[in-house]
Structure 1
Amino acid sequence: MALSYFICHGSPTLAVEDNEYTRFLRNLGEQTQKPKAIVIFTAHWENQVLSITDSDDIYETIYDFGGFPEELYSVKYPAKGSRKTASMLQEMFQRQGIPVRKDAKRGLDHGSWVVLRHMYPEEEVPVVQVSVNPYLSPEEQYKIGESIRDLGKEDILVIGSGATVHNLGTLAWGKETAEPWALEFDDWLIDKVQKRDLDSLFAYETLAPYARRAVPRAEHFVPLFITLGSGNPELSPKLLHRSYNYGTLSHIGFQF
C-alpha cells in the first residue's frame, strides 16, 4: 500500500544541486516501493476548480520562474501522464461532490519536477498533476485528501509539493541556519501534525506562532492538509526530514 508524502520543493536550484536535502529525496525514492503512478498536488498550479492533467503523453517541462542560472532552463523531466489514473481521480472527487475538471495541455511545473527528478530520476513512473485552490479552508483541503484516500490501496503515491515556511520577502541569501521565528512556527506545526491534532491545525492562522509571517499566502501550505487527509489515518504521521535554506525556506518532509 502506497503512503502519502508532503514534500517541500524549495528553490528551483534544488533540481541541479547535491546536498543534504536532495540526497534525502533520492533516498526516499529508493527506499519506497515503486508506485504504479504518482499523483502530485503542486503549489504552482492554482485553480478555483480542482484540475487534473489528462494525458498519456510525455509532459512539457514548465519553467515557471525567472532570474535563475541558465542551466535550469535546460532541465527536462520527460515523465508520461496517465489518463487511467486521471479518470480514477475524477470519479473519486465527483463521488464526494468536489467539482473537478481535466486539463489535457498542462505540463509539469517546477513544484513537481524539482522533487520528482530526485525521487524518481529514471522518469518511468506515470504522473498526474493536480492543482490547488489556496482560498479553500484547511478543513476543505483535508476533505479533498480524504476523498482519494483509497489511492494508496491501488499502489498510487500521493505527494503534496509546497512549503511550511514560504515567505520570499524574508529570505537571507547564503544563510543556511534558520531564523528563530521560522523554527518556532515549524516546531508548533510538527508537534500538531505528529499528534494529528486536526482542530489546532485547522486553526493554525490564529494558534500557530508567526503564522502570518510563515504563510503569507496559503498556496504552498495547503498541500500539507491534502496529503494529511489522503494518508492512512491508522498510522502515526512521521517527520522524515527537516532543514532550511536562505534563513527561512523550509525543507520539511512528512509521511502520512
Structure 2
Amino acid sequence: MIPSLFLAHGSPMTAIEDNEYTSFLKGLSSKIKPKAIVIFTAHWESDILTISSSDETYDTIYDFGGFPQELYEIKYPAKGSGQLAQILKGKFEQKGIAVREDVRRGLDHGSWTLLYQMYPAADIPVVQISVNPYLEPEKQFEIGETLKGMGKENILVIGSGVTVHNLRAIKWGQQEPDQWAVDFDDWLIDKIKKEDLKSLFKYEKQAPNAQIAVPTPEHFMPFFIAMGSGETQPTILHRSYELGNLSYLSMQF
C-alpha cells in the first residue's frame, strides 16, 4: 500500500537545486511508484474544493518572480485524469463536501517543483486539488479522510505545503535553524506520535510560536489533509531547514 505524504515544497528553487532535500525527493521515486497522483497544493486557494478534471497535458505555471531564468524554462508536461477526477468528486459529494471541477488550470509550483524532482519523466497522471485555507483543521482532516483507501489502489495522495512558512522572518544565508521554528516542529511531531488530534486541531492556541510559524494558514492546511488520508504509521521522512526557519519537514501517513 502506498502511504499518503506531506511534502514541503519550499522555495521554487527546489526544482533545480541539488541538495539533501532534493536527493530525498529523488529517492522517493524508487520507493513509491504510483499509477496516479492526487496533490493538494497550497498555491491554489478556493472557497470550494476544486479538482482539475481533464485528460489534457497541463501547462506549467510560474507563479513566482525574481528567480533564475533556468527555472522559467522548465516544463512539467504531466497529463491529468478526468476519470480519476470524477471518482474523487463522487467521494467528496458522498460525504457532503461541496466540490467543483476545473478544466483549464495548469500545475502551480506547489505541485510541479516537487514532481519534477520525484518523477521527472512526467509520465504519471496527476489530479491537482485546491485548498480552502480558512476551513478549520478538523474540516481539512475530514477532506483527507474522504480519500482513505487511495493508497490501496496504488494512488499517491500528497499534501504540498510547509509547516513553518513565514517569508517575513527568513534570514538569507543563515544555515542554522531558528529555535522557535524547531520548537514548533518538535511540538507537531510530539503530538503526532501521541495521536493527539485534539491538540493538533488547536495548534493556533497550543503550539509554541504558532503565530510566527504559521502567520497565514494556506501552507499548513495540506498537512491535515495528508494526515487525514493516511492509513500507515506516521513517520518522519525528512527534516531540514533553509534560510533560518523555512521548514522542510516531510512525513508519511
Would you say same fold, with TM above 0.5?
A: yes
Q: 1:96-155: CA deviations, max 9, x gaps?
A: 000000100010000000110111111111000000001000000000000111212211
Taking the aligned partners of 1:245 and 1:71, their CA distance within structure 2 comes to: 21
CA deviation string 1:198-217 (max 9, x = no partner): 01100100000000100001
Superposition deviation, residue 50 in structure 1: 0.2
1:241 paired with 2:238, answer: yes
Distance 2:171 2:68 in 1: 18
Q: How far did residue 176 of structure 1 move?
A: 2.1
Q: Report the alpha carbon displacement of residue 28 of structure 1 after superposing the two structures with TM.
A: 1.2
Does structure 1 residue 26 correspond to structure 2 residue 26? yes
Following superposition of structure 1 onto structure 2, how do residues 80-99 of structure 1 map, counting pairs within 5 Å? 80-99=79-98
Give distance in 1, aligned partners of 2:194 and 2:114. 26
Aligned AA for 1:117?
A: Y
Counterpart of 1:174?
Answer: 173
SS at match of 1:169: coil
Farther off after superposition, 36-45 or 62-71: 62-71
**Match for residue 149 of structure 1?**
148
Contact (CA 8 Å) 1:196, 1:237: kept in 2 or not? no
| Structure 1 residues 9-158: aligned runs within 5 Å | 9-32=9-32, 34-158=33-157
Return 6-15 or 191-200, whichever deviates more. Answer: 191-200
Q: Secondary structure at the match of 1:170?
A: coil
Q: Provide the secondary structure at the position in 1 that maps to 2:249.
A: strand
Q: Number of paired residues?
A: 253
- Letter in structure 1 aligned against 2:182: L
Structure 2: unaligned runs, 5 residues or longer: none
What secondary structure does 1:168 align onto?
coil
SS in structure 1 at match of 2:239: strand
Structure 1 runs (4+) greater than 2 angstroms displaced: none
Contact 1:176 1:245 in 2 (8 A): yes
- Equivalent in the alignment of 1:250: 247
RMSD (CA atoms): 0.7
* CA–CA distance in structure 1, aligned partners of residues 108 and 133 of structure 2: 17
Verify the 8 A CA contact 1:54 1:128 in the aligned structure 2. yes
In structure 2, what is the Cα distance between the partners aligned to 1:3 and 1:196? 17
Q: Distance in 1 between matches of 2:193 and 2:78?
A: 33
Shift of 1:195: 2.2
* Alignment partners' CA distance in 1, 2:195 and 2:106: 34
Aligned residues with identical type, % of pairs: 60
* AA partner of residue 68 (structure 1): F
1:68: Cα distance to partner?
1.0
Q: Distance in 1 between matches of 2:233 and 2:53?
A: 33
Amino acid at match of 2:31: Q
Matched residue type, 1:7: L
SS for the counterpart of 1:30 is helix
- Find the aligned partners of 1:22 and 1:82 in 2 and give their Cα distance: 27
Q: CA deviation at 1:67?
A: 1.0
Alpha-carbon contact 1:194-1:236 (below 8 Å) kept: no
Aligned to 1:206: 205
The Cα offsets for residues 174-213 of structure 1, whole Å up to 9 and x where unpaired, read as: 1121101000001001111222210110010000000010
Aligned-partner Cα distance in 1 for 2:92–2:6: 20
Contact 1:10 1:250 in 2 (8 A): yes
CA distance in 2, matches of 1:107, 1:87: 18
Q: Structure 1 regions of 5+ residues with no counterpart? A: none
* Residue type of the alignment partner of 2:10: G
